[in-house]
């Protein structure tokens, strides 16, 4: 049955959930269709996070103006978001097992976030979280119910069943789809079907993947404690994991889903063979082009990609788009949408900053 591809999309980009890979898919579609993007008026590429979203955070917004797409980090607040989006906008997001989210957040933020300072690792933190966690710390949302927080909810609220049910009901009435990171291929098929997009539209290379040296092993005791400590996130994850599979059964069917996933994997592998110099992502020090080097926070090593040489112009552009770093792609879209000197200056600044970071990291390794 024929359907019209959706072009009005609001993606709540949650933290540490594989959302950068989803964002890249959206950016490529946006660029292909020449759609408008909600862009931050500062240089952070976050839409006011950790504050509740407000139209005041948007570059060159005028009252009554509508945009085609939102896809950057923000703390969701529907009354303000709805001012920018068309009435037929498709709202969706992606979540991940809270244990994995917290492990990733700790790796990224332990050296410069007050709530984690003093704990040698996450296992130690979880033995006595209230020894480190303070309600008055400005970034305590990193350490507890971070997914809940991104959805605009109170991460410090007691886990009361009536409150939880009401909050989830509110989210379900707003969001058309919640994807699950642990079933990423299945999520892309669901998204493709919901948006009436093609399989080519949802192909991807995994972005912002950490090196093995930047991951930690957690004890079973720590895993259990994380689930209890992040009980709102854990129940949230279990609920939407269940609705995720129910939606697959109701709309696609498990057998057709398996076939679709294999087709997607096959397309991705063909693109990898065509686009990439190496079979997989490489260490940041081995990324040759700074445009493709992801942001390297603190001591975390984020892998990147190198393109094959000799690609024709059309294929080269497609491959480049799939491996652009989040920050660089955002700047390019900003420059395209506003066509001004400020955007070009940001690109030049970005290149200088990335080169400095790469040089610093290489000096450390030597």
Q: What is the DSSP string of 265-313?
A: HHHHHHHHHHHBSSSS-B-GGG---GGGPPP--TT--B-B--BPSS--H
CA nearest 364: which of 293, 282, 296, 291?
A: 296
**CA-based radius of gyration for the chain:** 20
pLDDT, residue 362, reads: 55
Q: Are 106 and 44 in contact (CB under 8 A)?
A: no
Return the percent helix, strand and coil in the chain, to nearest 5.
55, 10, 40
The C-alpha atoms of residue 152 and residue 118 are separated, in whole angstroms, by 28
Taking the C-alpha atoms of residue 35 and residue 18, their distance in angstroms, rounded to an integer, is 23
Q: How far apart are CA 29 and CA 35, in angstroms?
A: 8
Chunked mean pLDDT (size 10), the chain, 366 residues: 91 98 98 95 85 94 94 97 98 98 93 88 96 94 97 96 97 98 98 98 96 89 98 98 98 97 98 96 92 84 95 96 91 82 60 58 54
Q: Which two structure tokens, joined as six digits, stand for 329?
A: 């792609």
The Cβ of residue 308 has, within 10 Å, a number of other Cβ atoms equal to 14
State the DSSP code for 85: B
Distance (Å, whole) CA 342 – CA 339: 9
Q: Give the model's pLDDT for residue 341.
A: 53
| Angle, alpha carbons 327-241-150 (nearest 5°) | 40
Residue 292 CA to residue 319 CA, distance in Å, equals 11
Whole-model pTM over 0.85: yes
The secondary structure of residue 178, as a DSSP letter, is E
Give the Cα-Cα-Cα angle 270, 275, 281 (nearest 5 degrees): 100
| Strands across the sheet containing 9-12 | 69-70, 9-12, 90-95, 177-180
Q: According to the model, what pLDDT value does residue 359 have?
A: 59
């Amino acid at each position: 049955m024929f359907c019209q591809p959706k072009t009005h999309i609001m993606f709540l980009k949650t933290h540490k959930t594989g959302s950068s890979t989803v964002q890249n898919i959206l950016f490529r579609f946006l660029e292909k269709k020449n759609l408008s993007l909600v862009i931050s008026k500062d240089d952070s590429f976050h839409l006011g996070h950790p504050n509740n979203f407000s139209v005041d955070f948007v570059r060159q917004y005028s009252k009554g103006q509508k945009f085609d797409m939102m896809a950057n980090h923000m703390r969701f607040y529907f009354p303000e978001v709805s001012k920018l989006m068309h009435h037929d906008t498709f709202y969706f997001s992606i979540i991940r097992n809270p244990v994995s989210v917290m492990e990733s957040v700790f790796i990224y933020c332990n050296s410069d976030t007050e709530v984690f300072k003093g704990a040698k690792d996450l296992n130690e933190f979880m033995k006595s979280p209230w020894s480190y966690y303070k309600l008055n710390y400005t970034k305590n949302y990193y350490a507890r119910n971070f997914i809940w927080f991104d959805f605009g909810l109170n991460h410090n609220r007691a886990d009361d069943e009536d409150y939880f049910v009401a909050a989830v009901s509110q989210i379900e009435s707003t969001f058309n789809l919640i994807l699950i990171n642990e079933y990423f291929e299945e999520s892309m098929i669901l998204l493709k079907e919901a948006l009436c997009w093609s399989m080519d539209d949802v192909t991807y290379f995994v972005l912002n993947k950490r090196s093995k040296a930047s991951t930690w092993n957690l004890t079973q005791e720590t895993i259990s404690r994380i689930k209890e400590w992040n009980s709102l996130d854990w129940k949230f994850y279990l609920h939407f994991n269940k609705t995720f599979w129910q939606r697959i059964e109701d709309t696609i069917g498990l057998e057709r889903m398996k076939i679709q996933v294999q087709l997607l994997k096959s397309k991705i592998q063909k693109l990898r063979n065509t686009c990439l110099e190496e079979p997989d992502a490489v260490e940041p020090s081995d990324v040759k082009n700074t445009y493709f080097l992801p942001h390297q926070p603190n001591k975390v090593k984020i892998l990147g990609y190198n393109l094959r040489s000799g690609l024709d112009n059309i294929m080269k552009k497609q491959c480049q788009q799939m491996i652009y770093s989040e920050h660089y792609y955002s700047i390019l879209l900003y420059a395209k949408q506003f066509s001004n000197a400020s955007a070009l200056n940001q690109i030049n600044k970005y290149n200088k900053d990335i080169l400095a970071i790469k040089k610093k990291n290489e000096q450390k390794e030597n």
